[in-house]
Amino acid sequence: MSRRIASMKCFGFARRPRASWVLGVAALGLAGQAASGDIFRDRVYLFGDDPAEGAVVGNRVGSGNEFIATFDETGTPGAGDLQDLVPEPVDQEAIYENVGPSGLARPGAANGAIGIRFDGQDDLLAGDGFGNPNNHPTNGDPDLPNNFSGIFERGVQLWVYPDSASQGRFQTIYADSGDNRVFINEEGKWGFRQNGSNDTVSLADVQYDTWTHVEYHSFGSRPGALIVNGVIKGLWNDWYGNSASELIVGANQAGNDEFFQGVLDDMSVFVAGDNSALFPDGSNFGTYDGSDNDWIALQLANKAADLGIAELSPGDVNMDGQLDQTDINEFIAHWLDTQVIATNDPADTRLGPTFGGFTWILGDWNSRTQQADLNYDGVTDLDDFFIIRQAFIDAGLAAPSFTIPEPASLVLLGLGLAALSRRRG
C-alpha cells in the first residue's frame, strides 16, 4: 500500500529541490490566504494554485509534477521543511477542481483558483504529521530550520465544501495523528478531537454544497477551539496531541474509512509563540489574533473593498473607513464587555455536549463586531484602546482620550496613562 511508503519518508528529507520557491510564493501572493497577522504558517497547501505543481482542472492530484504531490508552499528547498501531501493510492481519483468564480466560487478565490475534490470512496492525501509544536520531530536538529521547542500554540485552517450526497455519513476532514482531527458527524454537525479519544461535537450545522471555513486552534496549554466561519463553536480543555504519525487529509488516520466527499481548499498549519529567549535557534513565531483566521481576514478585506480603500485601520471600531469620535463612543459603550464561552451552560447554544464544563474568555468575529474587541481576546479593555490610540496617531490625528465609565472614579484616559496608573497604585 502506497500509504506505508509515505510513512517511511523521514522528516527532513528534502523531497523537492525547488529553486523557484521564493519567486513562486511572491508571484502567488499566497492567493486567497489573505494573510494579515504575524503567526508562523509552517505549512501552506494551496491545492493546485502553485504553477510549479502543474495542476490541471479535472486531472488527478499530483499528475503534473514529478513528485506526484500537492505542494507545501512554505519552506526552503533542501531544508527539510517542505511537507508535501501525496495522494494515495496514487492511481485514485482525487482531482483538481475549479474553485474560482466560474467554478465552485470559493469566497475570496480569484479567477483560475484550484482546489481538490475527494470522492468519498477512497481518496485521501497523506504527509508528515505535525502534532504539538513542542514535540515536533525536527526540534533540536541543527541541520533543520524551525525549532519549536517550548512552543505549544498550534492551529489548522482550511475551506470545506461538503457534497450533499455525503449527508448522513461520518467524514473526517483531516486527522493529524489519531489524537487530533476535524470531522462532520452523521447528524451533520461539525466536530473535532484534541489530544485523545473524546470527540467534541458542536451544535453547528454543516452547510452542504457551499463553502465553510473551519479552523481548529489550540491556544497553547489550553483551551482548544473549533472556529466555524470566524465564530467559536466548540471547546476542549487540553493540549494539542503529540503524536508524530501521519497527517491524513480526507479520511481517518488509518486511511481506510470516514472518507470525505466534496472539495477542500487552501489549508494552512500554523504555530504562534516566542522561544527566542529559550533557545539559540529559537524564534518569535508571532502572536495570533482573529485577523489571522482566513475567514475573518476575508471579511475585513471585503469591507475595505466595499469602501474603496486598501485596508481597514485596526482602530476602525465600526468599520466605516473613518477614524473618528464614533469609534471612541462605540468602544466606550462596550467597556469591559466580556465574551464568556462556557460548555456547561445550557443557555449557551453556541457549543455542543459538555465535556467537563469549561468556561473560557475568548474572542472571535462576534466579539470584534459586537463589542469593539479589536484584539480578539474576548474583553473590551485598555488593550483595545491602545489599538485605537495608535491608529489615530498613525493616521496623523490627535491621540484620543476617553472617560472610563466606572461609577466610582471617572478617570480621563489618554496621554497620561502612566501617571494614572501611579495614582491608582
Residue numbers at the binding site for Ca ion (CB under 5 A): 42-43, 46-47, 49, 72, 74-75, 81, 115, 265-266, 316, 318, 320, 322, 327, 373, 375, 377, 379, 384
Strand, helix or coil for residue 257? coil
Number of H helices, E strands in the chain: 7, 19
Q: How far is the CB of 352 from Ca ion (least distance, A)?
A: 26
Give CA–CA dist 192/156, Å, rounded: 12
Q: How far is the CB of 314 from Ca ion (least distance, A)?
A: 11
Smaller CB separation from Ca ion, 138 or 243: 138
Q: How far is the CB of 19 from Ca ion (least distance, A)?
A: 16
Give CA–CA dist 299/107, Å, rounded: 10
Give CA–CA dist 366/44, Å, rounded: 26
Give CA–CA dist 210/107, Å, rounded: 10
Q: How far is the CB of 26 from Ca ion (least distance, A)?
A: 16
Alpha-helix residue ranges (DSSP H) falling in 29-132: none
Smaller CB separation from Ca ion, 53 or 384: 384
Smaller CB separation from Ca ion, 153 or 373: 373
Quick check: 381 and 413 in contact, CB under 8 A? no
From residue 95, give the alpha-carbon distance in Å to each of 78, 166, 263, 281: 28, 17, 9, 40
Q: How far is the CB of 265 from Ca ion (least distance, A)?
A: 4
Smaller CB separation from Ca ion, 194 or 375: 375
Residues whose CB is less than 8 angstroms from the CB of residue 306 and which lie 6 or more positions away in sequence, other chains included: none
| Closest residue to bound Ca ion by CB | 75
Ranges assigned E (strand) in 109-188: 114-119, 124-127, 153-162, 171-176, 180-184
Strand partners, 365: none
Q: How far is the CB of 76 from Ca ion (least distance, A)?
A: 9
Cell numbers for 36: 494579515
Q: Give the largest CA-CA distance in the chain.
A: 72
Sign of the alpha-carbon dihedral angle for 15, 70, 239, 360: positive
Q: How far is the CB of 45 from Ca ion (least distance, A)?
A: 8
Smaller CB separation from Ca ion, 30 or 203: 30
Smaller CB separation from Ca ion, 47 or 392: 47
Q: How far is the CB of 407 from Ca ion (least distance, A)?
A: 22
Smaller CB separation from Ca ion, 25 or 342: 25
Q: Of 390, 389, 372, whose CA–CA distance to 381 is shortest?
A: 372
Q: Of 125, 107, 128, whose CA–CA distance to 116 is shortest?
A: 125
- Residue 120 DSSP symbol: S
Smaller CB separation from Ca ion, 40 or 239: 40
Smaller CB separation from Ca ion, 109 or 248: 109
Q: 307 φ, ψ to 5°?
A: -85, -5
Give CA–CA dist 86/116, Å, rounded: 12
Q: How far is the CB of 40 from Ca ion (least distance, A)?
A: 10
Q: How far is the CB of 147 from Ca ion (least distance, A)?
A: 14
Smaller CB separation from Ca ion, 88 or 316: 316
Quick check: 124 and 90 in contact, CB under 8 A? no
